[in-house]
Amino acid sequence: MGKPAATDRPPLLSLSHSFTLDLVILHRDRTVIEQCRHLTQTWLQGIGLELSEQKTRIAHTLEKVAGEAGFNFLGFQVRQYRASKYNTAQGRGFKTLIRPSHEAMKRHWATLSALISQHKAAKQANLIGILNPLIAGWANYYSAVVSTRTFHLLDHRLYEKLRRWAFFRHPRQGRRWAIQRYWPPRSKRRKMYGKDFSEHAITAH
pLDDT, position 19: 64
Q: pLDDT confidence of 175, banded at 50, 70, 90?
A: confident
CB 193 within 8 A of CB 187: yes
Q: Which among 109, 198, 103, 199 is positioned nearest to 151, based on CA atoms?
A: 109
Q: pLDDT confidence of 48, banded at 50, 70, 90?
A: confident
pLDDT exceeds 80 at position 153: yes
Q: pLDDT confidence of 6, banded at 50, 70, 90?
A: very low
For residue 65, what are the CA distances in angstroms to 57, 61, 85, 181? 10, 9, 24, 51
pLDDT, position 196: 45
Which has more confidence, 15 or 137? Answer: 137
Q: pLDDT confidence of 5, banded at 50, 70, 90?
A: very low
Region 17-38: what's the mean pLDDT?
A: 82
Q: For the CA atoms of the chain, what is the radius of gyration?
A: 26
34-44 residue pLDDT tens: 898 888 889 88
pLDDT, position 180: 77
pLDDT, position 116: 93
Query: How buried is 95 (Cβ within 10 angstroms: 0-12 exposed, 13-18 middle, 19+ buried)?
Result: middle
Largest Cα–Cα separation, the chain: 89
Q: pLDDT confidence of 76, banded at 50, 70, 90?
A: very high
